[in-house]
Amino acid sequence: MTRPDGDAVDEWSFSARMLNLLFEAAAAARNGVEYTNSQVAAAINERAGRRVISDETIRKLRAPGGPQPSFDKVAHIAAFFQVPLDAFKEGTDTHNAVAAEANRLLEARRERTEQVTRQVAEESEGVLMLARSARRLDSRGLKLAMEFISSLQKMQKSQH
């Protein structure tokens, strides 16, 4: 990696895995909506007040074995994701801590998604059971069932 003046920062490689992990973790925090490369580039450029990175550069940086970005680009990416520069240097305590936190967010998101999926499945089963039962009713029975459901809804509303 090189500084804006062209001097090498040190001998470590930029972690594309960390960049992708940060994209995923940000999505988890945004209800599963991942930033696009274009959105990240636009936000970085707007914050910098000049064009410092393109969406194509971000795409390349996310690919394994991609190019090594300049110090300036890494600093802007780190600022966007609100992580220290060392988060992109594999093997450092900072990298490991940021990765652990990102993975914790992803796991919490997965657990929540699984919980919601289970709830939806349970509710769907209840609705299917009611529908199967309603199919066996005649028009009078359907009318009585609808009145009963309406009464139950009113009772529930009054209890809350």
Model confidence pLDDT, tens digit, residues 53-65: 999 999 999 998 8
Whether residue 14 is predicted with pLDDT greater than 90 in this model: the reply is: no
DSSP designation for 10: -
Model confidence pLDDT, tens digit, residues 99-156: 999 999 999 888 988 888 888 888 888 888 888 888 888 889 888 888 888 888 889 8
Mean of pLDDT over the chain: 87
pLDDT for 12: 58
pLDDT for 50: 97
Question: How is residue 138 written in tokens?
Answer: 């005649």
| Integer angstrom CA distances of residue 144 from 79, 131, 141 | 62, 15, 5
Q: What is the mean pLDDT of residues 11-38?
A: 88
> What's the rounded Cα separation, in Å, for the pair 38 and 26?
15
> What's the rounded Cα separation, in Å, for the pair 25 and 80?
13
Q: What is the mean pLDDT of residues 60-71?
A: 91
Question: How is residue 112 written in tokens?
Answer: 């929540």
Please calculate the CA angle 24-44-9 and round it to the nearest 5 degrees: 90
Q: Which residues pair with 2 in a beta bridge?
A: 8
> What's the rounded Cα separation, in Å, for the pair 84 and 96?
12
**47 within 8 A of 62, measured Cβ to Cβ:** no
Instruction: Mention every residue, 6+ apart, whose C-beta is less than 8 A from residue 145.
Output: 134, 137
Q: How confident is the model at residue 3 (pLDDT cuts 50, 70, 90)?
A: very low
